[in-house]
Structure 1
Amino acid sequence: MYPKRKRAVINAGPCKRQCHLNYVKERMWDPFYLKKKIKEVGLSKDLKLYQIRLWRSYLSIFFVLHILVTIGHCLLILVFAEIKDLIYFDVVVYFGCGVFLLAVLSVNFCEQFVERHNWVMLLSSSLAAIILLSADKLTAAIHYDPSTEMVVASFYDVYIVFVIYMYLPVPSVWSSIALGTVAAVVYIIYYVMCMSPEQLPDGSVVADASHYLCLNLVGIFYRITTNMIVRSSFLDRYQYVKEELRLRNARWHEKSLVDSILPPQISISLQSEIQKRITMVNQGTRPSIITLRRSMAVQVHPDVSILYADVVNYTHLTTTVDVVTLINLLHDLYGRFDKAAVTFRVQRIKFLGDCYYCVAGMAEADPDHAKNCVDLGFAMISHIQEVREIYGVDINMRIGVNSGSIFAGVLGEAKLQLDIWGTDVTIANVLESTGLPGCVHVSSRTLSYIDEDEFAIEPAPSWAAEHPLFIKHDVQSYILRSNNMSLHDTQPEPSASIYSFSRLGSQSSDKDEALQTLFKQELYKEFQKMPVFRWRFDQNELDSSSPNISFLCLKYRDKDMENLFITQRDYIFNC
């Protein structure tokens, strides 16, 4: 029985309801719960593969152990036995048993074969136990003489039971119990058959049965505890990878959101400053100032193109449609513009009502900044024509594009806003206001950057040439009409990052599959990193693989870490 846990009470106004979530089994290593949870999250196959790796490492230890035990045993009987002639047969049997035993178990090192045929592990383990039992009983039977009261004792009885539970690759606990029980019964039967009733002390059979029962109980405890540790470790790794991917995805959303508002060269310094301030707060240090320090808050971009776009008849539109329709229309329209801006590598600065302006060549140098802005302008015109047909409204786009230099920076302290300034920005604004609906109004400098054969070029309207700003700065402007109105069909580049709030609640099926595939790959890598024993003879390799743990007693070299580990609660024993 698990101790009852206090239930949390949630205050929800006039009524209170209890939280019925019980986390006792998560805190305690319940073997039935762990087995069910492993199956629930779909880790049964991965767990089996890792257990095969573990048993293979255990076998490598057993091979060395059995060779040492065999050599030591043979040396002992050769040195201390009184009748040497009878011992040579035993030595041959033990060495032959060792060679045969290792040959049978070596099949488990064929990784792919064992992974496809798991029954090989049980079969080889059973044969290994039979070989050890046969060798032990054969030597006893050869030397047994019923005419004397001498009985040859068993050497491998305790050894066989512990080997079955600790080293042999037996897939299930029940199979281990069966093998261990058979071994114990064989030894008890041998003891009873070789001893006459007069030679059997009172209670000797019960004592032997209790002895083998205790050995099996120790082995069963070891197997169950090992299984719990492995399953718990698997669930820990599963949770770790899951949380790591969620954190990575959240950071990607955060970065995409910030990059959609601020250029990377400015957002990186701001994010670094925010992280420093969060670290200071977590450490208990309150920042002395409230405002954020911004390195390079204002930057000069000497070779860019600026696009200003305005929705024609927007004022009339706001008086003829209801608010919901207007919001849906603008959301649809500006969403199309944002995707087109990513396609043509243009960074949107902001939109104010019916005004939308953006810059090409600011985030990173781009020799095609002018062409990208012009192509974006015609894509906007094509998009607004589709929106006009969908909603049945009379709207159009008036677009102006100018190339030159700008100042870009972040305004505000509590709420940050990227903006641009400069004479060339003002010229682009005037180009938009003096242009024609359905056309792109460009300056002579922008025209010099693009291929004139791709567009139909017309002189600018007379009122544009008479504008005071154009006269002051000697600006020549032209009207462009596109020969290809399908620019908006261009899909974004695969590397382009489009951040959408609508995708936060529900991801597309393709992205879900991609995330699931990535999760499985990361999980497989983590499972491959899970530790198994392997022999290391290079001290440098040993130190690099576990720099904080001593090889002799598996203790932390750092005393503080060792004390912290010792004082942790042991959930197996609930203490």
Structure 2
Amino acid sequence: MFANAAAFIGALVLGLMARPIAELPPLWELIFATFNGAATAGMLGMVALTYRHMVDVAEAALESEHQKSETLLHNIMPPAIADRLKQNPKVIADSHEQVTTLFADIVGFTEVASQSSPESLVTLLNRIFSQFDALVDDLDLEKIKTIGDAYMVVAGLPAARPDHAQAIARLALEMLVAAERVSQETGKQLQIRVGIHSGPVVAGVIGQKKFAYDLWGDTVNIAARMESHGATGRIQISASTAKLLNGEFELEPRGTIEIKGKGQMATYYLIGERKTTKPNV
């Protein structure tokens, strides 16, 4: 505002000092100088306004790009972890004593891949994984990554939640429904196999390039084994997860299976959620 006023006054002074092409009576010289100064001031004002508009547009574009970058970063890792990484870009490793991890895998994906073009295969994966992503968002869970046709999710971090096992169980049941829906819509024989285990993990970000939020520990390995040793179209869970479900879900005992590095482990198939919660006895 003050800059525009100064420009106007300066232009008015210049206009008063400017001389007309021909000699004019004193009164007309004053009128000429006044109008000349006002016109110059108007032009300078337009230049100032144009410059201000250009600055505003540039700032808006910069803010838009910043928001896009923030959104992309928050899609890669939890917002709280992304903020920590921006403030102090070093190794992040947090211990979480109780989380529930899920692995899901598309059964027979190799055969499906052999019968599809690369474009249609990627489109199919995107279709089913996008539905899984929507379920993860609805249940406020944390997607960790996809590896080929495998999908990994965790509940209970970065913020702890007491219902982490129940939330993952609900997700697993909805994932079976989503996979069946995509199979019917596409005409492809799509079935998934799901494995779940609960326990402690270490979560964080390591490395210097292509940052990714990931999990480490026996809990992750056992959850992966629950999936790989499971049955098509079924959800296999460990005894630790079954205990945390506290009778709120219907389970079918499977018996024991051999888990590499752990020996025999009791497992269960998750059937569905009970309409009424049984008391813990």
Deviations 1:111-161 (A, max 9, x none): xxxxxxxxxxxxxxxxxxxxxxxxxxxxxxxxxxxxxxxxxxxxxxxxxxx
Shift of 1:418: 3.1
CA distance in 1, matches of 2:243, 2:32: 89
Determine whether 1:210 maps to 2:25: yes
Determine whether 1:458 maps to 2:252: yes
The answer for the alignment partner of 1:233 in structure 2 is 48
Shift of 1:451: 6.3
Amino acid in the other structure paired with 1:467: E
- The higher radius of gyration belongs to 1
The answer for the alignment partner of 1:343 in structure 2 is 138
Q: Is the 8 A contact 1:264 1:363 kept in 2?
A: no
Give TM-score scaled by structure 2 length.
Answer: 0.78
Q: 1:470 to 1:399 in 2, by over 3 A?
A: farther
Q: 1:249 to 1:361 in 2, by over 3 A?
A: farther
Amino acid in the other structure paired with 2:205: V
Deviations 1:152-190 (A, max 9, x none): xxxxxxxxxxxxxx9xxxxxxxxxxxxxxxxxxxxxxxx
Determine whether 1:397 maps to 2:192: yes
Determine whether 1:362 maps to 2:152: no
Deviations 1:22-68 (A, max 9, x none): xxxxxxxxxxxxxxxxxxxxxxxxxxxx9xxx99xxxxxxxxxxxxx
Amino acid in the other structure paired with 2:52: R
Q: Calculate percent identity across the aligned residue pairs.
A: 26
The answer for the alignment partner of 1:243 in structure 2 is 58
Q: Is the 8 A contact 1:298 1:409 kept in 2?
A: yes
Determine whether 1:467 maps to 2:261: no
Give TM-score scaled by structure 1 length.
Answer: 0.41
Residues 476-491 of structure 1: pairs in structure 2 closer than 5 A: 476-482=266-272
Q: Is the 8 A contact 1:269 1:295 kept in 2?
A: no
CA distance in 2, matches of 1:398, 1:252: 37
CA distance in 2, matches of 1:412, 1:296: 7
CA distance in 2, matches of 1:452, 1:415: 42
CA distance in 2, matches of 1:241, 1:444: 60
CA distance in 2, matches of 1:423, 1:372: 21
The answer for the alignment partner of 2:86 in structure 1 is 271
Indicate the SS of the match to 2:26: helix
Determine whether 1:221 maps to 2:12: no
Unaligned runs of 5+ in 1: 1-49, 56-165, 167-206, 274-293, 485-575
Amino acid in the other structure paired with 2:223: A
The answer for the alignment partner of 1:255 in structure 2 is 70
Shift of 1:311: 0.6
Shift of 1:314: 0.9
Amino acid in the other structure paired with 2:34: G
Shift of 1:266: 4.1
CA distance in 2, matches of 1:409, 1:319: 36
Aligned match of 1:381 in 167, 173, 176? 176
CA distance in 2, matches of 1:222, 1:378: 78
CA distance in 2, matches of 1:258, 1:364: 18
The answer for the alignment partner of 1:313 in structure 2 is 108
CA distance in 1, matches of 2:238, 2:261: 10
Unaligned runs of 5+ in 2: 6-11, 13-22, 275-281
The answer for the alignment partner of 2:278 in structure 1 is none
The answer for the alignment partner of 1:326 in structure 2 is 121
Deviations 1:269-308 (A, max 9, x none): 44346xxxxxxxxxxxxxxxxxxxx434322122222111
Shift of 1:411: 4.0
Q: 1:222 to 1:369 in 2, by over 3 A?
A: farther
More helix per residue = 1
Q: Which has the higher contact order (CA 8 A, sep 6+)?
A: 2
Amino acid in the other structure paired with 1:456: E
The answer for the alignment partner of 2:19 in structure 1 is none
Number of residue-to-residue matches in the alignment: 258
Residues 553-568 of structure 1: pairs in structure 2 closer than 5 A: none
Amino acid in the other structure paired with 1:432: E
Q: Is the 8 A contact 2:136 2:171 kept in 1?
A: yes
Shift of 1:265: 4.5
Shift of 1:443: 2.6
CA distance in 1, matches of 2:159, 2:49: 45
Amino acid in the other structure paired with 1:378: L
CA distance in 1, matches of 2:45, 2:100: 60
More strand per residue = 2
